[in-house]
């Protein structure tokens, strides 16, 4: 069976109890135990719920894994994956330009529990190897990175992890499993903010973790059940519904992103475009080799701060907001949104300037998105 068919028909396509084509929402907290001597599949909904179980089977199919777990947010998923395998004294090597919430989790919370970290430019293999110590347990990767869409050489990174017996985790939110399946190339744990492309409709917060390592899977389940950070049946249903159109959305949103990036690169007021689909992007060849597409997020810098402000103020179709991956296009301003907590000199060092804008392309007609950007950019304040 092809992947596109599998993601609709393996995992969560029909309710095993009624045949319903849409998996019902089972809100039950508890389940009648017919015979207390026989363990049944469901006994309490923190430990297991039929709606969440259907979603979790689907997540495993999406990532070509054997075990999927659904969490109350992407950050909860990252926390569960890391704490499933790390204890006090363990060390993590992580992508320097990782998601802000991952940065906060490592620096403010896990460090307090004795789990230490080193941030490194994971596009630099030698620097990454240099950061590994005898205490290193996990290589935590994120790519394409946010907001500059830097691409890691995934194959080189998994080889490096194998050499040092590290567990590799990859935050695969930006590409989605439709475009890239990290477990296929030897990553141990794939993680998502399902809030973004998996959900796809800007209407829920959710997270996912998938692995095909049975031992790690058991540890992740122990954290999910033991700390109670699982996804609700209602949101599990909503996420299952969103995933059904993942293929269609990703195909169209990627096509729109390519059109937009190409158009931006020809505008005199645009000083730089960051999109791995463009041939001059340093990660272009890598992502072309490893993934089915380049994603639907494009960043660019404008020539002046005034023009950046004009765009932020005057766009009408683009929603000025944080987040990404929905069917409505979103325009974000990293300097005041995702990276506002970072001091300006550190932002500048990473290349996150005050004229940088990040776009998440949705399903509107590309011409309307372009016209909106173009006319906003031309308004003089
Ligand atoms: C949004 C995001 C997260 C966090 O997910 P939440 O669902 O907001 O908790 C993690 N990683 C990446 C790359 C993200 O974009």
CATH of the domain at 303: 3.90.1150.10
Residue 258 and residue 222 in one domain: no
* Per-residue pLDDT of the chain in tens (381 residues, 90 and over written 9): 999 999 999 987 789 889 999 999 999 999 999 999 999 999 999 999 999 999 999 999 999 999 999 999 999 999 999 999 999 999 999 999 899 899 999 999 999 999 999 999 999 999 999 999 999 999 999 999 999 999 999 999 999 999 999 999 999 999 999 999 999 999 999 999 999 999 999 999 999 999 999 999 999 999 999 999 999 999 999 999 999 999 999 999 999 999 999 999 999 999 999 999 999 999 999 999 999 999 999 999 999 999 999 999 999 999 999 999 999 999 999 999 888 877 788 788 888 999 999 999 999 999 999 999 999 999 876
Cα 234 to Cα 240: distance, rounded to the nearest angstrom: 10
Q: Given this model, what pLDDT does residue 173 score? A: 98
Q: Hey, which residues are catalytic here?
A: 46, 99, 171, 196
Cα 357 to Cα 299: distance, rounded to the nearest angstrom: 6
Residue 199 DSSP symbol: T
For 183, phi then psi, to 5°, come to: -65, -30
The CATH number assigned to the domain holding 150 equals 3.40.640.10
- CB 358 within 8 Å of CB 257: no
For the stretch 9-32, what's the b/e string if a residue is b when 16 or more beta carbons lie within 10 angstroms of its beta carbon?
eebbbebeeeeeeebebbeeeebe
Residue minimizing CA distance to atom 6 of ligand 1:
74
Q: How far is the CA of 193 from the centre of ligand 1 (A)?
A: 4
Q: Is the dihedral of CA 87, 95, 289, 247 positive or negative?
A: positive
Residue 229 and residue 299 in one domain: no
Edge-to-edge strands, sheet with 297-302: 270-274, 297-302, 356-360, 330-332, 319-320
All residues at 6 or more sequence positions from 301 whose CB lies less than 8 Å from its CB, including other chains: 270, 271, 272, 353, 355, 356, 357
Of the three residues 180, 213, 243, the one that is the final residue of a domain is 243
Of the three residues 210, 243, 276, the one that is the final residue of a domain is 243
Residue 204 and residue 252 in one domain: no
Q: Given this model, what pLDDT does residue 209 score? A: 98
Of 74, 169, 339, which is best to mutate to test ligand 1, by the most ligand atoms within 8 angstroms of its C-beta? Answer: 74
User: Which residue in 363, 359, 362 sits closest to 376, CA to CA?
Assistant: 359
The residue assigned the tokens 């802000």 is 100
Q: How far is CA 132 from CA 95, 105, 112, 149, 222, in A?
A: 13, 20, 20, 24, 27
Of the three residues 215, 243, 271, the one that is the final residue of a domain is 243
Measured at the CA of 319, the angle between CA 262 and CA 353, to 5 degrees, comes to: 60
Please count the residues of the chain.
Answer: 381
Residue 229 and residue 357 in one domain: no
Edge-to-edge strands, sheet with 207-211: 67-71, 207-211, 189-193, 167-171, 136-142, 91-95, 116-120
The structure's pTM equals 0.97
Q: Given this model, what pLDDT does residue 128 score? A: 98
**pLDDT tens across 67-82, in order?**
999 999 999 999 999 9
Structural domain harbouring 299: 247-377
Show the tokens assigned to 140: 């935590």
Q: How far is the CA of 75 from the centre of ligand 1 (A)?
A: 6
Within 6 A (CB) of ligand 1 lie 73-75, 99, 101, 142, 146, 171, 173-174, 193, 195-196, 205, 207
- Count of structural domains, the chain: 2
Nearest ligand 1 atom to alpha carbon 194: 7
Residue minimizing CA distance to atom 1 of ligand 1:
193
Q: How far is the CA of 379 from the centre of ligand 1 (A)?
A: 33
């Amino acid at each position: 069976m092809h992947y596109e068919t599998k993601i609709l028909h393996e995992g969560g396509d029909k309710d095993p109890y009624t045949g319903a084509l849409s998996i019902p929402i089972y809100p039950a907290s508890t389940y009648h135990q017919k015979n207390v001597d026989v363990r049944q599949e469901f006994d309490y909904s923190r430990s297991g719920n039929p709606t969440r179980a259907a979603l979790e089977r689907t997540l495993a199919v999406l990532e070509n894994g054997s075990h999927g777990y659904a969490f109350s947010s992407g950050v909860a998923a990252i926390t569960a994956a890391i704490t499933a395998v790390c204890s006090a004294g363990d060390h993590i090597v992580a992508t320097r330009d990782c998601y802000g919430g991952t940065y906060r989790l490592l620096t403010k919370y896990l460090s307090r529990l004795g789990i230490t970290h080193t941030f490194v430019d994971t596009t630099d293999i030698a620097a990454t190897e240099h950061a590994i110590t005898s205490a290193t347990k996990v290589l935590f990767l994120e790519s394409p990175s946010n907001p500059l869409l830097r691409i890691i050489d995934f194959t080189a990174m998994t080889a490096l992890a194998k050499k040092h017996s590290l567990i590799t985790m990859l935050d695969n939110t930006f590409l989605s499993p439709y475009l890239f399946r990290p477990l296929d190339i030897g990553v141990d744990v794939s993680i998502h903010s399902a809030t973004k492309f998996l959900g796809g409709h800007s209407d829920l917060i959710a997270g996912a973790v998938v692995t095909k390592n049975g031992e790690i899977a058991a540890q992740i389940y122990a954290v999910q059940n033991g700390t109670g950070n699982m996804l609700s049946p209602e949101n599990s249903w909503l996420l299952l519904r969103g995933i059904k159109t993942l293929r269609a959305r990703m195909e169209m949103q990627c096509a729109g992103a390519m059109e937009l990036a190409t158009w931006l690169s020809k505008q005199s007021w645009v000083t730089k475009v960051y999109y791995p689909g463009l041939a001059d992007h340093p990660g272009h060849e890598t992502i072309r080799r490893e993934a089915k597409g380049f994603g639907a997020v494009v960043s660019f810098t404008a020539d002046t701060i005034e023009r950046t402000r004009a765009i932020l103020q005057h766009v009408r179709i683009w929603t000025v907001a944080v987040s990404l991956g929905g069917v409505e296009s979103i325009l974000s301003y990293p300097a005041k949104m995702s990276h506002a907590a970072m001091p300006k000199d550190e932002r500048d060092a990473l290349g996150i300037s005050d004229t940088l804008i990040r776009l998440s392309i949705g399903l509107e007609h590309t011409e309307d998105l372009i016209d909106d950007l173009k006319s906003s950019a031309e308004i003089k304040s």
